[in-house]
Amino acid sequence: MSTFGFYRLAAATPAVRVADVDFNTRSVVDCVRSAAAENAHVVLFPEMCLTGYSCGDLFFQPTLQQAALRGLATLATETAGLEPVTIVNLPLAVQDALFNVAAVLHRGQVLGLVPKSILPNYREFYEQRQFRPARELSVRSVELPGFGEVPIGTDLLFADRDELCFGIEICEDLWSVSPPSCRLALQGARVILNPSASDELAGKAPYRRALVAQQSARCLAAYVFSSVGPGESSQDVVYSGHALIADNGRLAAENTRFAMGGGLIYADVDCARLGAARMSESSFNDSRADAALPPARRIALRELKAPCDLRYAHLPARPFLPTPAEEAERCEDILNIQAAGLAKRLEHTRSATLVIGVSGGLDSTLALIVCARACRLLQLPMSTILAVTMPGFGTTGRTYANACRMMELLGVTTKEVNIREACLLHFRDLDFDPSLRTNTYENVQARERTKILMNLANKTGGMVVGTGDLSEIALGWSTYNGDHMSMYAVNCSIPKTLIRCLIHHVAQQSEPEMAAVLQDIIDTPVSPELLPPAEDGSIDQKTEDILGPYDLHDFFLYHFIKYGASPEKLRTLALLAFREEYTEELITRTLQTFIRRFFTQQFKRSCIPDGPKVGTIALSPRGDWRMPSDACAAIWQH
């Protein structure tokens, strides 16, 4: 049984001697034992690992064929008490024809045999000389000495309950126009295993790496690839022992090529997550329906019990953030998407101005940057932007100064409206005591600001640009019909953690004075600034002190929306991802807050403004997330 759908997959590249089956079998056994010590669930070996791939016409020799069968029996016996499901290749004679087959072993039994579909017959590869392709196989099972009747065919899937389900294609199968893995994935395989013999040529490794990663993405699957190594014959070509594990387009593990002694690589893959992704990807299920595939033969694995501690899992604490290598390009893409969306809306509405409230906080800073980019796209002057500061009871000198300086440096039209007097008047109209720091005290300010922006837009023939972000939308951390509302919300699919990254990217490209302002905004605690400051003038109302860290909320949001992770799984993953940063108590409490607020605040998401989608997760009620406003959270709160 895995941990919340995670399985540990291993790719082995054992030391091999050509035609020395006894040596090769011992080498494979040693690798399986090593994989078992690492609590691997599945371990894949290269093509023809029991005999060596480069045996040539020696494959015709009954002596070699029988030795391979004995090696298979020895391997089954030696590993019978070990956990990993083991996949090895060998030559197998069936009805006077020789087939290149992958044998699946577990607990001392051969569960199935999968023949190679596509046999190369070009350059240095002449497999059609020795072997026959899978399509020429006329039986569905074979009598295997010592194992009895064993299923054989390319329609075999091997499954542990509904989570781990793997299929096998062999080497050239992947390089074909229509790889069998596409069919296997549509038939239910969430993991594809490829025992391979790919020779090494200058420049081939990057292509191979990209091919494996892309196929895993196309199949919404994990892909394990293990190729033969330097122990093969170097008569005409050299093999590097390249091993790769990809997870839905991401390279999860890769070995160092040309290692003479071989080795193993591991990746903890979330098979439950892959299933969730397929369920929400309509194109995957459409492809399944269009293919009209015959049902595969599913072979049950004996229950896998090894614990999975997830030390080989890819669990970034901030999953919305790009890697450092991708940061510049990804940030530019996001900013361009935001700016292009706003430019289109501005052009379509023929608005004369872009009206935006600027507080000196993260969200309004990013929205103002996007407004400036949109104006540049349309070749409009920066004066098109009407940036409004609206100091209130909680405004601090730090945020106010940053807002004013940024607007000055950008050269936008500015306006200041102090909301204190209007709010006090409204408190009197409501018979409300402003010494009471309740929701009324805070929301009157938020709605006053929105009223000012909307009316200024009417006065100037403009449109109000919303500043609220995806994290706030998920948590409902906005005032209904206050900062909740705008005419176009440019940050609506950008979480708080990503906003910091985007502003940092812009700061790196800015002149020193602007860069300094932007960095100070990044360093300022997140706050709605609706309650009075501390005695020293600093921010006293800190959002993350109330809600919990946005790092955690964004982590929960990512795994909850994208992959349907349960609360127990969210908590477990967060404990692993943030074990050096946050206490278990804080993680648990923040998760409870996330679930409670996500369910109770749907009514705000049901009527949010238009805005551009920039990533795979968004909460627009017009397509990305459809949920009743009165859904109960009880089963998520147990």
Instruction: Cite the active site residues.
Output: 47, 116, 171
Cβ contact 557:471 at 8 Å: yes
Distance (Å) of CA 417 to CA 314, 329, 358: 48, 38, 11
Cβ contact 507:515 at 8 Å: yes
Task: Record the tokens describing residue 261, joined without a space.
Answer: 């002694």
The DSSP code for 140 is S
Cα-to-chain-centroid distance, residue 616: 10
Residues 6+ apart with CB under 8 A from 344: none
Distance (Å) of CA 478 to CA 119, 361, 409, 596, 604: 61, 14, 29, 15, 9
Q: What are phi and psi of 125, to 5 degrees?
A: -105, 125
**Rounded CA separation 236/246 (Å):** 30
Strands (E), 392-483: 413-416, 463-466
Task: Record the tokens describing residue 584, joined without a space.
Answer: 């278990």
**Rounded CA separation 371/453 (Å):** 15
Which of helix, strand or coil describes residue 526? coil
Cα dihedral 240/244/249/251 (nearest 10) = -100
Which of helix, strand or coil describes residue 251? strand
Q: What are phi and psi of 454, to 5 degrees?
A: -65, -40
Q: Which amino acid is at 30?
A: D
Helices (H) and strands (E) counted in the chain, each on its own, are 21, 20
Quick one: 326 exposed, middle or buried, by C-beta within 10 A (0-12, 13-18, 19+)?
Answer: exposed
Nearest to 497 by CA among 600, 355, 363, 356: 363
Task: Record the tokens describing residue 498, joined without a space.
Answer: 């990503």
The DSSP code for 58 is G
Cβ contact 250:257 at 8 Å: no
Nearest to 285 by CA among 270, 298, 275: 275
Cβ contact 24:89 at 8 Å: no
Which of helix, strand or coil describes residue 425? helix
